[in-house]
A and B are shown apart, each in its own frame.
Chain A
């Protein structure tokens, strides 16, 4: 079968070359060197970083052309298109922006260049935060990517709403029950208001809960096995069910809409229609001057508090972190140049400008200490502190599919009328199917 296909393809290739339509291969045309950089078009701050770096890099390296190859679409589509381009040496980018939780799978696939040797003599590398560096590790312990940014998740609450309901400010919940108490109090005081929102259309909320339970994790890093039958999983689903059943959150339909955050940050919070929501550390980016949902008073009205663990157990608070990294393609013809590009992009000035503009959490300690960073918004220090209790999602090849299975479980509970136990059981079954019996551990 294979040889027939090969023959066919050969014939086709000849035909296409004859008609002058074969794919144009990039790079390798002698005296000028070209680097192709893939990144998300949808992120204007990232776009700015790449434009600036291109300019600096071309000025510093004669004869080098940086070809920016931004990709349209949301994170999901970006990941898909990046992976699609990586399979062919002709289209694989030299440098690419990579979601940290996709990195290990791409390392396994042989798409990513190991960077240890190239980073060894880079002084700046020592200024990178150790936790953040973890995001760039492959399964073999080698470094495959330089972190670009990270974030944390905290509770953002509206002090007007909570104050009117008679909640003592600053509000400092220590357990899940404290969250429910607040929500019920606010609802009783003003039924028009949505007391407490946790998204169900993305996974952040659920993991925020799960990682704050006693046995709470998806993946046992020590044993390198996936966890089934965890009580924490069921409890987390049950908590979500409670807030949706008691109508303490937005409606299930809204919760499942991936764009509901626009209504929350754009309307409900500014108009005192919502008590609190779990949102990324970058939330001020929505409200700052010139932003889409500009709200001059946000710094007085809003306040943050870390998300509590289930019963207040150590370390008392929990957060989930995402983050993007810069990686170099394994097939690049100019590994030195490509790594130099990464170093330029992540030097002090560029990193500082990017981190502040995007309201992200600094990955360089010198950036974290810079005055511009600490003053970028009134919440910078608080949300950065949470990094200590923050968790990264497991970065295995099948995580995207498992992520979807978790999402399905939460949605079935929030909107599908299933009990937490049933949904957890379905998840366990799906998980088994995805990773196989040998990769699972029962808790």
Chain B
């Protein structure tokens, strides 16, 4: 939890009595508004190409106002093979790995949060260490491992691997969430004769729902967008998620169907943007470091 160390103020402060007026504050607020909106514009600007190209029959990498707006690009890709199957695969990968992560993290967090364990600190630091590993670095060995285990081209294997990569961060977050659920509530359940797992399931988890949702959605977002892992581990066309199948819009000589690429990108991005907005609306926050600090 945040350690509130009272910092010493510059001693000159006390004599100069410069109480800020509400007018001052409003002015500062206005400046902040303007600056923020400028930044927001910079962040949204690159997306303009995506939208304009998706509606343009002759799109290129240039940003052009389409002479005639058309939905043909969307029409051309709205079919099972090009769009729905890859999106379904992305969904399976994302949901599967999020479920794996959350389940394993909740189970692990319970003894870590509730019992005095001698190895707790070394364990938590080892897990924290795992949080720090660049997953890209282990893709070469992971590929070799998957060859050995005959797990190549297996959605299940890929889901477990992706789930495992987020497990360290998820264990930390989940344990912190669980720490903030008072243990007295479970004690009541224990007195009624419930086992610790029952207490976890019926008493603790419901109270942690918002936190778990954040962990779940965080892993889901990462799984939905991940390109490198399925690119290396999956082969069959029928198993490819959208991040890999998107390359179909490039022909063998490097020509690009820009309009369709943009339309597909939008269809691929919309679910996660909606998911994010919904999470925000329900008060969820992806402030990972807040949930991570010791």
Contacts and interface: CB of A to CB of B under 8 A. Distances in A.
Q: Do A and B bind each other?
A: yes
Interface of A: 5-6, 9, 12-13, 16, 19-25, 40-44, 68-75, 77, 81, 84-85, 87-88, 90-91, 258-259, 261-262, 292
Contacts of A13: 149-150
Best-buried of A12, A19, A20, A261 by chain B (most CB within 10 Å):
A12
A261 to B, nearest CB: 7
B156 interface: yes
B13 interface: no
28 contacts: A9-B145, A9-B148, A13-B150, A16-B149, A16-B160, A21-B157, A21-B159, A21-B160, A22-B154, A22-B157, A23-B151, A23-B154, A40-B252, A42-B247, A42-B252, A43-B252, A69-B235, A70-B237, A72-B240, A73-B247, A74-B250, A75-B252, A84-B152, A85-B152, A85-B235, A88-B152, A90-B153, A258-B254
A186 to B, nearest CB: 26
Contact of A22 (B143, B151, B245, B251): B151
A20 B237 contact: no
Contact of B255 (A9, A73, A91, A292): A292
A285 to B, nearest CB: 9
Contacts of A70: 237
Contacts of A262: 253-255
A21 B254 contact: no
A148 to B, nearest CB: 14
Contacts of A19: 156
B156 A22 contact: yes
A23 B248 contact: no
Contacts of A85: 152-153, 235
B85 interface: no
B154 A41 contact: no
Contacts of A77: 247
Given A9-B145, A74-B252, A262-B254, A88 B159 contact: no
A126 B219 CA distance: 58
A43 B250 CA distance: 10
A81 B236 CA distance: 11
Given A19-B156, A20-B156, 11 more contacts: A6-B148, A16-B160, A21-B159, A23-B150, A23-B156, A44-B251, A72-B244, A72-B248, A84-B152, A88-B150, A91-B153
A69 B151 CA distance: 17
Contacts of B88: none
A44 B257 CA distance: 14
Interface in B189-229: none
Contacts of B150: 13, 22-23, 25, 88, 90
Contacts of A22: 150-151, 154, 156-157
Contacts of A44: 251
Contacts of B148: 5-6, 9
A19 B156 CA distance: 9
Contact of B250 (A20, A42, A88): A42
Nearest to A286: B253
A419 to B, nearest CB: 31
Contacts of A24: 154
A69 B232 contact: no
**6 smallest A-B Cβ distances: which pairs?**
A21-B156, A23-B154, A42-B252, A72-B247, A43-B252, A259-B254
A24 B156 CA distance: 10
B37 interface: no
B247 A90 contact: no
Interface string B118-161: 00000000000000000000000001011111111110110110
A87 B252 contact: no
B153 A23 contact: yes
A16 B156 contact: yes
A359 to B, nearest CB: 12
Contact of A87 (B147, B250, B255): B147
Contacts of A25: 150
A331 to B, nearest CB: 13
Interface string B241-278: 00011011011111110000000000000000000000
Given A258-B254, A262-B254, A91 B240 contact: no
Nearest to A259: B254
B250 A69 contact: no
A23 B252 contact: no
Contacts of B240: 72
B154 to A, nearest CB: 3
B115 to A, nearest CB: 24
A84 B233 CA distance: 9
Contacts of B248: 41-42, 72
A180 to B, nearest CB: 28
Contacts of A72: 237, 240, 244-245, 247-248
Contacts of B251: 42-44, 292
A9 B156 CA distance: 16
**Most chain-A Cβ atoms within 10 A of its Cβ — which of B240, B253, B255?**
B253
A88 B154 CA distance: 12
A265 to B, nearest CB: 9
A23 B233 CA distance: 11
Given A73-B247, A88-B152, A261 B236 contact: no
Contacts of A12: 149
A20 B250 CA distance: 36
B139 to A, nearest CB: 11
A342 to B, nearest CB: 21
A278 to B, nearest CB: 15
A44 B159 CA distance: 31
A55 to B, nearest CB: 17
A288 to B, nearest CB: 14
A20 B160 CA distance: 12
A85 to B, nearest CB: 5
A81 B256 CA distance: 21
A198 to B, nearest CB: 17
A421 B133 CA distance: 43
A259 B156 CA distance: 37
B255 A88 contact: no
B239 to A, nearest CB: 10
Contacts of B255: 259, 262, 292
